[in-house]
Structure 1
Amino acid sequence: MSPPKETNSHLFTLDIGGMTCASCVGRVEKALNQTPGVEAASVNLATEQAKIRLQTGAETTINSVIASVQKTGYDAKISTPNGKSEIKPQQALWGSDGLGRVLLSFTLSAPLFLPMLLMPFGIHWSLSPKWQLLLASPVQFFFGWRFYKAGFKSVLAGAGNMDLLVALGTSAAYGLSVYLMVASPHANHELYFEGSSVIICMVLLGKWLEARAKQQTSEAIRALQKLWPEQAKVLLPEAVIEGNAFLDQYRELALDQVFAKDRILVLPGERIPVDGVILFGSSHIDESLLTGESEPVKKTLEDKVIGGSLNGEGVIVVDAQAVGIESVLSKIITLVEDAQTQKAPIQKLVDQVSAIFVPSVLIIALLTGLVNWFYLDSAAIAILRAVSVLVIACPCALGLATPAAIMAGTGVAARFGILIKDPQVLEQAHRLNIVAFDKTGTLTIGKPRLLSLIPLSEKFNRSDILATAAGLQLGSEHPLAKALLDAAKEAGISPFPPTESKAIPGVGITGKTNSGPWSKQNLSLQSVASLHAGLETGNIAQKAQACLEAGQTVSVLMSKDIPETPIAIIAFGDELKSNAQQAIKALHQLRIRTVMLSGDNSAAANRVGNSIGIDEVFGQIMPSNKAEIIRKLQSADADHSRQWVAMVGDGVNDAPALAAADVGMAMSTGTDVAMQAAGITLMRGDPSLVADAIDISKRTWQKIQQNLFWAFIFNATGIPLAALGYLSPMLAGSAMALSSFCVLSNALLLKRWRPGQV
């Protein structure tokens, strides 16, 4: 048995076999939640999977959980690491939902229902009762055996499902025909073998169409899984990367045998097997299936590459840094799988309805039979109308309405670089009326450069200041740190190594250096906004006024020893992303108000905000205040209506605000912490994806509503029509199959969505 794919040992996924409708989902979920040691469980019909979380310290084993599922009459097994394996062609043709069974059952049933089609043309012909029995029996008991088997298991479990309704309905029609045939063998009775056979044929057809549609909704997962190359070319330890001599000094290893720090050779046209950094060569890399970026990206020495992306024209050697489940591709697959397995909150209503649906239908069918028998004095008509009620009421469409839309919507979004990890986002997104942006790295490129260095005393040397400031930032991944280190490198200045350093989110960095005029002193490089009132902040701001007016980010290098001494003003500049203004315009077209949060001084922040059309700007704020501002934005406005706010960010200091927002969106170009806190991850640092993410979320929510409406309306109108005799069993079977197909087809319309349709 393969281990669970989740890194959390208390959380695992099961593949559930045999579920056919929403009632099945409710029964499996109930059994799981009643299993000792299970803290929570969620079952999804479209993916046929269950996510189970065990209580901390529980002694419950996975085998005992599987046994609980099997007692309810369903199959269960641990899900494979990268999702379900694809069905083999012969299994797809002759399996339980295979086309071969559908065609063969229709072939046997054709002579039974063709006479009905010929009657309007004045052709009255029919098979003898014996031939009807001979053709109907294999359809009823061979092709229809799956319904008897699943229905019997549901009875043993103390609840009903769709299969039970089909088995009871078709057995009643078949049994009535056999009774009439045996009781009066020479009488000219109307038999109903064609009704039972056609119902089974139509349900089988519906199941086949469902299986095909489900397969299409999970195309995104399979497309991502296919990006994994089976092997990697690992350079030999003794191979020296020079010229072309190393091109044959490798060995082919299976991907699970590749480790971090291995050197991977990637030839033109091959897929990169691991995440890593380029050690040799340059090339254009196609990352479209991972990030949605349509154009290949130029990559050269020390640039990061993502496993699964396609190498272009160059030979490159990659230093492996993340392999297997640690890679970006694996995390994307897990994120999409989790989104498609989880339930939207609205599904809870569907589950509650489905729990009482089948028992209610059985009672309605019984009453229909008794009432019709009493008033019409015809057992045959009464049974047929009861059969129609049983068949038309199958809740397949109801069970598929929500998960099918979620699978299609999250799948197409992932294809274009929008990862929706929480289905609750789909319910929140259609309410959004405010989007708040962090500035740096979200609306700006996030690669600032050093523009000004102003000593605050004539005795301070510029080179010493730069070496000290850059030294404090050694090892930091912050954009401003990189700007300082790049400036020192360009000036040929070696940073003074720090003896200690500590980053303070939203403030700056503190530490000590081991050389230079301020060695051993407590130093800080912090924003102007974070300076306390005791200092001559007015004097510092005055000297930095020109930088602030130019919209630059200003930091102050200080000695924190008593007395505190400001050493220098250091100003950084960052360019706006080329499509930032277009992104804001797209949000305005969706009637969404835009807000920008920035640590810069208010004048500089307002200047940036006004240049791209931001509605409201909050400048000179601390990271801890970002979450507070989000909560204020959420509070009721003048009309006493609650506001729904999305937050877009990319840094560690954005995580609290992302979590506080109704919908958090993180740029994948930022930190893992931000991505974990957000409900949506944007795989490109493109602000226009924000409007696209809201658009696809709204469209998915609309599909969920449409599907649920039509599923409820179908059952609400179909049952009375069947009870009154306006729907024959054959029409009821056809309508039931058609309803499931329509729900799935409506969900699949989401696959036509493309970014930029706002």
Structure 2
Amino acid sequence: MTRQIELEIGGMTCAACANRIEKKLNRLDGVTATVNYATEKARATVPAGLTAADLIAVVEKTGYTAAEPRAEQAPEAPAADPLRTRLIVSAVLTVPVVLLAMVPAWQFDYWQWLSLTLAAPVVVYGGWPFHRSAAVNLRHGAASMDTLVSLGTLAAFLWSLWALFLGDAGMPGMTHPFELRAGTDSDAIYLEAAAGVTTFLLAGRYAEARAKRRAGDALRSLLELGARSVALPDGREIPVEELRTGDLFLVRPGEKVATDGEVVDGASALDQSLITGESVPVEVTVGDPVTGGTVNAGGRLVVRATRVGADTQLAQMARLVEEAQDGKAAVQRLADRISGVFVPVVIALAAATLGFWLGSGRGTTAAFTAAVAVLIIACPCALGLATPTALLVGTGRGAQLGILIRGVEALESTRRVDTVLLDKTGTVTTGVMTVTEVVAEPGQDATRLLRLAGAVEAASEHPLGRAITRAAAEHGPLPPVTNFLATAGVGVRGTVEGTPVEVARAAGGAFPVEIVRAESGAVEGGRGPRGTAAVAAVSDGGGAAEAGRGAGSAAQTWVEVRADGTLLGRLALTDAVRPTSAAAIAHLRRLGLNPVLVTGDAAPVAERVAAEVGVTEVIAGVLPAGKVDVVKRLQAEGRSVAMVGDGVNDAAALAQADLGVAMGAGTDVAIEASDLTLMRDDLTAAVDAVRLARHTVQIIRGNLFWAFAYNVAALPLAASGLLNPMIAGAAMALSSIFVVGNSLRLRRFRPVA
């Protein structure tokens, strides 16, 4: 028996820190842990017997702090205010030091001593976070980015002290020019490098902290959408935390819906844009579900709570987003392995650079300058930020658009997928069936036919059954059904008023009536979406034997109704295509994906829908269990398959597919089996999901490329003596800022029109 434990980690300064903590945690028996540098969190799957305290102890022994997250609170961004103060002080003191070093004309007598006075607080106070972290790592026999920074700035500062107190650099009238390359003057001092590098790195870390806060804004705003208090029907107002499942609460115009529930009184329009990204308000009335966090734009509602706390859709959305941000791309895992050995390699390279320059006779100053530049330029910050920041922004932006991404593996899958299987009912179509014709056999009563069929189907949750019940309820109350039995792919039967009644596939239409529980589009209480009632065209004596065999039958689904073995007649039903489905499928084609319609409907019905939306490949007559076989067959043909569905009968296929995409109005089991969840009942959301996922992966790969390219290009320059340490520090800080800034481009992602 395993469980998940989440910890907030403190004291991490680079990817190497996260990598080291992760390794320590994974050495515990049965523990699988990931540590995210950007979110400063660790998530571990642990066996029974291990507690959060055990993990915290391991983290603290590694030299960092850890604590369990505070319950029901949005994640905090990295603190920037203390860092801001340290940066301002350092910058004010550093500017004159750099100006004096760069402009020889301003180097008055004893200018070097003024530089020392100004630079010392920068190196000690400004650089204290780097020195403290380096000392902690040293005690644990480890090294990190801070080790490189601390070594480099202290070496430059101590060299300057030696030159000032023991060399000739302290003499009055001493001047030296500022050089971009390594110096060769034995009296050179590097106070501007020590102070400048410290300030540049503080500036980079401050910009990184602000950018990480912006990157996490979407998740924080998602967690803050929920209502803080809720009004009860008796006039009291209580904190939303006190609300329990089954309680009734009020939603007045302009208020947020406190939690997930079902409308028991009233009618209104709900603004769901913050949850689903859909800008058009949705009409709700008695019997309709509502989602916590949506805003009541119209009338007064009385709602019964169905889910509270961590079980609400909003909480589940936030949890999915946060878990997705803990993932690592395959290329990032390679980067982590590299960063784990990168710091020791750089220290060795700096030592080799020092030895080479000394051995070549270029002088101690030039050798020292080149070695310090190597230490400073090689900090692997950008590598550690490449994936987490892009995931933070990408998954957060997805949440704003009603797209929930389970993890980085789902993002990577979108680049490989070439075939999209589209479930018809509830995905391409609205999933809300309507009885359009009732054709009775000669001598049979059409109203009785509809009444008996509606009574039996009242116990079913299939869209066809609900449509029949809804139509029958228009003609009066329905009698109860006993001995109800549903057979998947065949139909339903039961006893109504003492008469055995069967509703099953039409012999001519060859339609398998898939009776499954909680299928998308199920209509409660004999009402259609938002309370609209179905209307059936009822006709007597029309000859049901001929119904469904004409030209019109291909556009309709036919079911037969029998009472005590006698055929009473047939019912025709249709399912409207979503208005945006055709445009969405055209977009999928432009993304290089081949759409395939898969359905349990008969071929004529499926082909009619496919022609309407522009799909050329149709797989019809597929029973619920057969969808998995369809996915497997396509995979065996070498295709990489995405499955888009919404019902219980789609769950296995969603799990089998290379990429499972669940429509948000579908069942919980379908959503649980998917990689991407679309909170909008609109196929264009699937297009946006693929586009966003691919764009995020592209950003991650770009970040990692430039981070690697920066180190590959800069290290030889530094080792060759072509970089002043201060310039190296500025370049290193800018590389991290570039990676974060590149990730923030995802905030501008726009959905298809």
TM-score by length of 2: 0.89
Which AA in structure 2 matches 1:403?
P
Shift of 1:166: 0.7
Q: For the Cα contact (< 8 Å) 2:560–2:569, is it kept in 1? A: yes
Shift of 1:510: 4.1
State the partner residue of 1:25.
18
How far apart in 2 are the matches of 1:361 and 1:554?
Answer: 74
Q: How does 1:164-313 map to 2 (within 5 A)?
A: 164-184=147-167, 186-187=170-171, 188=174, 189-236=187-234, 250-313=235-298
Q: Is 1:657 paired with 2:653? A: yes
CA offsets, 1:667-708, max 9 Å, x none? 111111111111111111101112111111111111111101
| 1:175–1:508 Cα change, 3 Å | farther
State the partner residue of 1:723.
719
Q: How does 1:366-405 map to 2 (within 5 A)?
A: 366-405=351-390
State the partner residue of 2:527.
none
Shift of 1:513: 2.7
Shift of 1:405: 1.2
Aligned residue for 2:420, secondary structure, equals strand
Shift of 1:581: 1.0
State the partner residue of 1:482.
466
Aligned residue for 2:227, secondary structure, equals coil
Aligned residue for 1:268, secondary structure, equals coil
Q: For the Cα contact (< 8 Å) 1:46–1:400, is it kept in 2? A: yes
Q: For the Cα contact (< 8 Å) 2:490–2:504, is it kept in 1? A: yes
Aligned residue for 2:95, secondary structure, equals helix
| 1:493–1:255 Cα change, 3 Å | closer
State the partner residue of 1:51.
43
Q: Is 1:738 paired with 2:730? A: no
Aligned residue for 2:255, secondary structure, equals coil
Q: How does 1:87-166 map to 2 (within 5 A)?
A: 92-94=80-82, 98-119=83-104, 122-125=105-108, 128-166=111-149
State the partner residue of 2:532.
none
State the partner residue of 1:15.
8
CA offsets, 1:114-173, max 9 Å, x none? 123434xx5444754433332222222222111122112222333211111111111111
State the partner residue of 1:536.
none
Q: For the Cα contact (< 8 Å) 2:402–2:680, is it kept in 1? A: yes
How far apart in 2 are the matches of 1:83 and 1:379?
Answer: 56
State the partner residue of 1:608.
609
State the partner residue of 2:56.
66
| 1:127–1:14 Cα change, 3 Å | farther
State the partner residue of 1:627.
628
Shift of 1:77: 1.2
Which AA in structure 2 matches 1:484?
I
Root-mean-square deviation (CA, aligned residues, Å) is 2.5
Q: For the Cα contact (< 8 Å) 1:472–1:509, is it kept in 2? A: no
Q: For the Cα contact (< 8 Å) 1:439–1:597, is it kept in 2? A: yes
| 1:483–1:558 Cα change, 3 Å | same
Shift of 1:465: 4.0
Q: For the Cα contact (< 8 Å) 1:235–1:262, is it kept in 2? A: no
How far apart in 2 are the matches of 1:514 and 1:614?
Answer: 42
Shift of 1:84: 4.6
Aligned residue for 1:235, secondary structure, equals coil
Aligned residue for 1:445, secondary structure, equals strand
Shift of 1:83: 5.4
Aligned residue for 1:273, secondary structure, equals coil
Aligned residue for 1:398, secondary structure, equals helix
Q: For the Cα contact (< 8 Å) 2:204–2:736, is it kept in 1? A: yes
Aligned residue for 1:276, secondary structure, equals strand
Q: How does 1:72-83 map to 2 (within 5 A)?
A: 72-82=62-72
| 1:566–1:714 Cα change, 3 Å | farther
Aligned residue for 1:448, secondary structure, equals strand
Range moving further from structure 2, 279-288 or 564-573: 564-573
Which AA in structure 2 matches 1:168?
L
Q: How does 1:537-548 map to 2 (within 5 A)?
A: 543-546=547-550
State the partner residue of 1:239.
none
Q: For the Cα contact (< 8 Å) 2:420–2:596, is it kept in 1? A: yes
How far apart in 1 are the matches of 2:225 and 2:74?
Answer: 16
| 1:127–1:110 Cα change, 3 Å | farther
Q: How many residues align?
A: 707
Q: For the Cα contact (< 8 Å) 1:109–1:198, is it kept in 2? A: yes
Range moving further from structure 2, 712-721 or 654-663: 654-663
Q: For the Cα contact (< 8 Å) 1:430–1:698, is it kept in 2? A: yes
Shift of 1:395: 0.6
Shift of 1:68: 0.7
State the partner residue of 2:530.
none
Shift of 1:530: 4.7
CA offsets, 1:652-674, max 9 Å, x none? 11111111211111111111111
Q: How does 1:289-688 map to 2 (within 5 A)?
A: 289-454=274-439, 462-502=446-486, 504=488, 507=489, 509-510=491-492, 512-513=494-495, 515-518=497-500, 523=502, 525-526=504-505, 528-530=510-512, 543-546=547-550, 549-557=553-561, 568-636=569-637, 642-688=638-684
How far apart in 2 are the matches of 1:512 and 1:553?
Answer: 22
How far apart in 1 are the matches of 2:431 and 2:679?
Answer: 15
Shift of 1:470: 2.7
Give percent identity, aligned residues only: 38
Shift of 1:460: 5.8
| 1:358–1:540 Cα change, 3 Å | farther
Q: For the Cα contact (< 8 Å) 1:391–1:732, is it kept in 2? A: yes
How far apart in 2 are the matches of 1:127 and 1:633?
Answer: 80
Aligned residue for 1:491, secondary structure, equals coil
| 1:540–1:366 Cα change, 3 Å | farther
Q: For the Cα contact (< 8 Å) 2:74–2:220, is it kept in 1? A: no
How far apart in 1 are the matches of 2:203 and 2:656?
Answer: 47
Aligned residue for 1:755, secondary structure, equals coil
Q: For the Cα contact (< 8 Å) 1:285–1:309, is it kept in 2? A: yes
Which AA in structure 1 matches 2:702?
Q
Shift of 1:569: 3.6
How far apart in 1 are the matches of 2:6 and 2:544?
Answer: 58
Range moving further from structure 2, 366-375 or 148-157: 148-157
How far apart in 2 are the matches of 1:334 and 1:283?
Answer: 29
Aligned residue for 1:376, secondary structure, equals coil
| 1:392–1:126 Cα change, 3 Å | farther
Aligned residue for 2:429, secondary structure, equals coil
State the partner residue of 2:180.
none
| 1:541–1:464 Cα change, 3 Å | closer
